[in-house]
Amino acid sequence: MASMKRGVGYCENTDCEDYAKGVFLLNHGDTFYCPRCRQLGKVEKERGFYTGNSDIFKEVRVEYNFDPVNGVYREIAIVRDESLWGRNNVYTLQSPLIKTEKRALKVAEAILANLNRYRGLLNGDEIPRTTEIILSFDDPFEEFQRKVHQLGKELEQSGL
């Protein structure tokens, strides 16, 4: 699903002017050094996980407004599909990149709209794509073949 790993690096040096200020990280490792004081800080990664054992998702929770000092997410936005009945999975996204309720609800809605397309294809802590796959005949054959295979799996599971 998602191949890009996103996160935020935070300075933990209380004497630094950039203490607890976030720095966007893309495809990062587990170490972060503050660009101002050059001391080791901490990385908060964007991650997703789900609970339940069915292939249908009824609810998406987005934990947002990360507090780097206490290491907790201050708020949760929840979007549910009330048309589904019975026991269904709940997906949770923890993102230090989301600061507002408006954005969290938009992200939750987009994830819920796409989650049930994946039915059984979501692995571990992957974050589902909320964008389309673009096939290009200019891609190397192996890449093109991988994308076509992925689209085929998604189409099989979509119920169309």
**What average pLDDT values come out for the chain (160 residues) when binned by 10 residues?**
76 96 90 96 93 86 97 97 82 95 94 74 59 74 87 65
Both structure tokens of 148: 């076509």
User: Tell me, what's the pLDDT at 122?
Assistant: 58
> Which tens digit of pLDDT belongs to each residue from 13-50?
999 999 999 999 988 888 999 999 999 999 999 999 98
| Structural Rg of the chain based on CA atoms | 18
CA 20 to CA 30: how far, in whole Å?
17
> Rounded to two decimals, what is the model's pTM?
0.72
> Which sign, positive or negative, has the C-alpha torsion 86, 79, 106, 99?
negative
